[in-house]
Amino acid sequence: MDMLGLLIAVVIAIPVLAIVSIVLTLGTREHVKRLEFRLASLETRLAGTAGEAPAPKPVSAPTPEALPAASEPPEAKIEAPPTPSGPEPPAAAPAPPAPAARPKISLEERFGTQWVVWAGGIALALGGFFLVRQAIEQGWFGPGARVLLAGAVALALIGAGEWMRRRELQTGLAGLPKAHIPSVLTAAGTAIAYADVYAAYALYGFIGPTAAFLLLGVVALGTLAAAL
């Protein structure tokens, strides 16, 4: 019983920690991307303003003065040599304009762009749980087929999330600018994978405690790798 209670606690705690780590890591990644974009735009503006410095004006040579008539002796005058006018120093480059402040996300926008998508991910995970339960109650599949089907669904969701993450396909809808679909799919697949391992151990006895613990560790490491 002690081993069973410990395994139940691990099954409940690890998915929660995995989902929280995915959300925090993806949020940090998006913040770093925004900072890199702002830095690149500032460097581009500085390079453009530095290339537009005014060209120096050419130095004009002094013209010689006409000699006076020979009938009158010229008066000796000592004139200071003209100082050549050097090129004017280039004007200082104007400071780049400050980036516009990002508008604050309202409660309605946050609800429509983030919470609804995460609610859909939770509903997707619960749908996998209830599908297995319905299959058990109706006797549609045998125990082995149920475990394999749940594992296939979990792998499909995790694979779809990783594929979308690699191709940066977040969402093309204008109304969902903040919805990160890959993280939702990965979280739902991870939750189904944990439930599948637990069912294979506690409900059907296909694997022992050691194998169940190792499989849960593999799922946790896979979730951590997806979050990096």
For the stretch 15-63, pLDDT in tens is 666 666 666 666 677 777 778 888 888 888 888 776 655 555 555 555 5
Checking if the pLDDT of 69 tops 60, the result is no
Q: What is the pLDDT of residue 130?
A: 74
State how far the Cα of 156 lies from the Cα of 189, in Å rounded to an integer.
7
CB 217 within 8 A of CB 18: no
Q: What is the pLDDT of residue 176?
A: 46
Checking if the pLDDT of 153 tops 50, the result is yes
% of the chain beyond a pLDDT of 90: 0
Q: How confident is the model at residue 163 (pLDDT cuts 50, 70, 90)?
A: confident
Q: What is the mean pLDDT of the chain?
A: 68
Taking residue 132's Cβ as centre, other Cβ atoms within 10 Å add up to 21
Q: What is the pLDDT of residue 218?
A: 87
Q: Which one has a higher pLDDT value, 195 or 225?
A: 195
Checking if the pLDDT of 172 tops 50, the result is no
Checking if the pLDDT of 219 tops 80, the result is yes
Could you tell me the CA-to-CA distances from 94 to 137, 201, 214 in Å, in that order? 74, 69, 62
Number of residues in the chain: 228
Q: Which one has a higher pLDDT value, 66 or 88?
A: 88
Listed ranges 99-103, 166-170, 195-199; the one with the highest mean pLDDT: 195-199
Question: What would the DSSP string read from start to end of 108-161?
Answer: HHHIIIIIHHHHHHHHHHHHHHHHHHHHHHHT-S-HHHHHHHHHHHHHHHHHHH
Checking if the pLDDT of 86 tops 80, the result is no
CB 12 within 8 A of CB 218: no
Q: Is the dihedral of CA 176, 182, 186, 188 positive or negative?
A: positive
State how far the Cα of 201 lies from the Cα of 222, in Å rounded to an integer.
20
Q: What is the pLDDT of residue 106?
A: 55
Give the residue among 203, 219, 212, 159 at the shortest CA–CA distance from 17: 219
Q: What is the pLDDT of residue 171?
A: 47
pTM of the model: 0.46
Sequence spans of domains, the chain? 2-46+109-227
